[in-house]
Structure 1
Amino acid sequence: MEKPRKKFIDVVDKAMVAANTMDRDELLFSYKGILYPVTVCSPEVFKAMESLEARSDDVILAGYPKSGTNWVGQILSDLVATFEKKMQNEESINDEDLEEFPYLEVGDTGKYERMNKLPSRRVIFTHLLPDNLPRSVFQNKAKILLLIRNPKDVATSFYHFSNGMSVLPSYETWDDFFIAFMTEKSTVYSFMIILFYLVPWGSYFNYLSEWNKYAEDENVMTITYEELKENRALGVKNIAAFFGISLTEEELQGVVERSSFQSMKENSLKTHGALGSILFRKGGVSDWKSLFNEDQNEKMDKAFEEHIAGTKLGMKLKYDVYCRA
């Protein structure tokens, strides 16, 4: 199911070209206190997003940047495409002509009107906080797969991604990025300083705290990057069951094989264009050990304990297993 995704590639390529002509302090804008990249998001799009009418059979993936959304998005898209092709005995409804860029917050103001006309099932990704999603997502009981990853690896991956992706501000050193990643509030800073001391899409600990409010909802399934790494086959099977996607063991195994890091990396030029080489860097666990110093370990351990340790998502992350030095 690793077909070319022309619309995905076009959006990303245009954003990267536009960003290459901009200064660092022009790359981000603030909306409701959170920074976003100007070449892929806009206040007008966020306002138009409320017009999206969510459906109970939508397949929604929510995850903070660099928590594995492209990987798990591949799994979800493949599950739906395999099921639809099987049921219709023809090309999947997710044909290129019917697709939108999968990330909900990326596009133009007319995107949501077009999405409202798309047939089911729609596969939707987002990095947004739950309160920033269209109200219809929760009102209409759309099912959400919430993907979380240990915060030290998220920070490490985000650092490398920021320095390789022109739509985001780059950082001269890991120490500079760590300060930005750990900074939670922007109210005391001037806008120019905000650009340096905060990362796009906001604080990861705030993201976990806000999504934890929905962790018990019957329409929300939480899965960790690490548990998928431990047993991808079981993870794929559980995801399919949650969304009511009925496939044979052979069909499920095909999805598992196509979602291996090696397979996705080999197909990344076709599926993600120039972005592929930036996205598929290592795809492992515990890469944080190559960057974190003792002081940074202590600071993140303390932040985890203060913000998320005692919550359902905090326990799900197995912090002592994956994040203790």
Structure 2
Amino acid sequence: MSFCWMSPHSRKSKTDPLHEYRGVMFPRGVARDHLDAMPHFQTREDDIAVVSYPKTGTTWMLEIVSRVLSVGGKADRTSEEIGRLLESTVPGSSKPSHVSLEDMASPRVITTHLPRQFVPPGLSKPTGNVKVLVVMRNPKDTAVSSYHFVNKTHQQSGSKVPLKWDSFSQEFLQGKAGWGSYFDHLSGWWQMHNDPHFLFIKYEDMKKDLRAAVKKVANFLEVSLDEDTLQDVVNDCTFGSMKANMAKSQHAGKKVLARKGVVGDWKQHFTLEQSDSFDAMFRRALGGTGLDFEYDEADGTVPAKLIV
């Protein structure tokens, strides 16, 4: 499960939930000594990693990966068990996740929100049979989903003053939220899109054709599924099924992870000026790289100015 992260606009000086590490803001739960340990973390030949920025479809992908590995007889762990971030501490324990992973049986599933420059070398430049799934979502819906998630976690902690969208969106655009700039995150990982160790998959594609997405993940993980089993996994991994299961969770944070799960909700929040600012930032960070996103679920088209 993704670690809670917050906007700097919500911070109080005595209880600052964010800290800076090598120019990037991280939640306090991602301790400096954890980040210092990343270059020394040893990957294994058959490790599987799920890489994502918060609120881009992490939990959804983990559910798919856990089901595919389970029905394929490769591993039998729930999405919650494999959703402990590499860079954080195991819930209910003082042991960092990167330490507890040393005792996990192979194949391990490693989950991280880290930018590529901070992950262990075995994940930034994999060798052997290491597999890395990178989950991506259009930046505007990511910002909106992040905004609502942060407000819900604030409410759970007793805050009665909601964050304002205008200030949050500006901070998100400037990379001042936890885990830093999403545009830099995308740019760093997208550099590896031609490397066969990587599978890049978009939230929008999962929404458009979940069956195709599950099949792509299974093929990447070298798991053969017959048509009936494939359909069972798809049925279990629909956004509706996943949201209903999370609503029953005993973990308060998990109950607020899933909201609408739609493409294009950003239109209910963005002004034209804000939309143009996000477009300009995307072009600066990823112009000419071939990466594009769908921003509208209704017709599946991408405005011409957003194709780079």
CA change 1:110–1:36 in 2 (3 A) is: closer
Match of 1:145 in 2: 133
**1:94 match:** 77
Q: 1:230 aligns with which of 208, 215, 225?
A: 208
User: C-alpha distance in 2, partners of 1:43/1:272?
Assistant: 29
Matched with 1:66 is 55
Structure 2 residue aligned with 1:289, among 245, 267, 274?
267
Q: How many residues align?
A: 286
Q: Which residue of 2 aligns with 1:178?
A: 169
In structure 2, the residue corresponding to 1:146 is in which secondary structure? strand
Q: Give per-residue Cα distances to partners, 1:180-207, cap 9 Å, x unaligned.
A: 01114xxxxxxxxxxxxx1111111111
CA distance in 2, matches of 1:300, 1:254: 38
Q: Find the counterpart in structure 1 of residue 151 from structure 2.
A: 163
Aligned to 1:118: 104
Q: CA deviation at 1:287?
A: 0.3
Q: Kindly state the Cα deviation for residue 239 of structure 1 after the two structures are TM-superposed.
A: 0.7
**Are 2:35 and 1:46 equivalent residues in the alignment?**
yes
Higher relative contact order (CA 8 A, sep 6+): 1
2:234 matched to which residue of 1? 256
Question: Retained in 1: the 8 A contact 2:263–2:295?
Answer: no
8 Å Cα contact 1:44-1:109 kept in structure 2: no
Is 1:78–2:61 an aligned residue pair? Answer: no
Q: Which moved more, 1:281-290 or 1:132-141?
A: 132-141
Give the stretch that moved more between structures: 170-179 or 215-224.
170-179
> Are 1:75 and 1:259, in contact at CA under 8 Å, matched by a contact in 2?
yes
**How far does residue 30 in structure 1 lie from its aligned partner after superposition?**
1.2
Shift of the 303–247 alpha-carbon distance from structure 1 to 2, 3 Å rule, reads same
Does residue 104 in structure 1 map to residue 86 in structure 2?
yes
- In 2 relative to 1, CA 223–100 (structure 1 residues): closer, same or farther, beyond 3 Å? closer
Cα contact 1:146–1:220 (8 A) shared by 2: yes
Using the TM superposition, give the Cα deviation of residue 273 of structure 1 relative to its aligned residue in structure 2, in angstroms: 2.2
How far apart are 1:101 and its partner, in Å?
5.1
Is contact 1:147–1:223 with CA below 8 Å preserved after alignment? yes
Which residue does 1:202 correspond to in 2?
Answer: 180
Counterpart-to-counterpart distance in 1, 2:240 and 2:21: 37
Give aligned-pair identity as a percent: 32
The residue matched to 2:19 in structure 1 has which SS? strand
Q: Using a 3 Å threshold, how does the CA distance of structure 1 residues 27 and 110 change in structure 2: closer, same or farther?
A: closer
Q: Can you give the 5+ residue segments of structure 2 that lack an aligned partner in the other structure?
A: 6-10
Q: CA deviation at 1:306?
A: 1.9
Q: Residues 208-219 of structure 1 correspond to what in structure 2 (within 5 A)?
A: 208-219=186-197
Unaligned runs of 5+ in 1: 1-7, 17-21, 185-197
- Residue 133 of structure 2 aligns to a residue whose secondary structure is strand
Residue identity matched to 1:47: D
Which whole-Å CA distance do the structure 2 matches of 1:305 and 1:246 have between them?
A: 39
Corresponding letter in the other structure for 1:133 = V
| In 1, Cα distance between equivalents of 2:69 and 2:104 | 14
Shift, 1:150, TM fit: 0.8
Inter-partner Cα distance in structure 2 for 1:110 and 1:279: 22
1:289-308 to structure 2, matched below 5 A, reads 289-308=267-286
How far apart, CA to CA, are the structure 2 residues paired with 1:211 and 1:171? 33
- 8 Å CA contact retained: 1:80, 1:121: no
Q: Residues 265 and 276 of structure 1 are in contact (CA less than 8 Å); yes or no, is this contact kept in structure 2?
A: no
Q: Evaluate the alpha carbon distance shift between residue 133 and residue 53 of structure 1 in structure 2; reply closer, same or farther with a 3 A threshold.
A: same
Structure 1 residues 265 and 93: CA distance shift in structure 2, 3 A:
closer
What is the CA-CA distance between 1:293 and the residue it aligns to? 0.6
The TM-score, its normalising length taken from structure 1, stands at 0.79
Alpha-carbon RMSD: 2.9
Aligned partner of 1:36 in structure 2 is: 26
Change (3 A) 1:139 1:287: closer
Give the residue type in structure 1 aligned to 2:84.
Answer: P
Q: Using structure 2 for the length normalisation, give the TM-score.
A: 0.83
Cα separation, 2, equivalents of 1:272 and 1:93: 21
Match of 2:72, SS?
A: helix
**Against the structure 1 CA distance between its residues 292 and 307, is the aligned structure 2 distance closer, same or farther, given a 3 Å change threshold?**
same
| CA pair 217-100 structure 1, distance change in 2 beyond 3 A | closer
CA offsets, 1:133-160, max 9 Å, x none? Answer: 1112234342111111111101111111
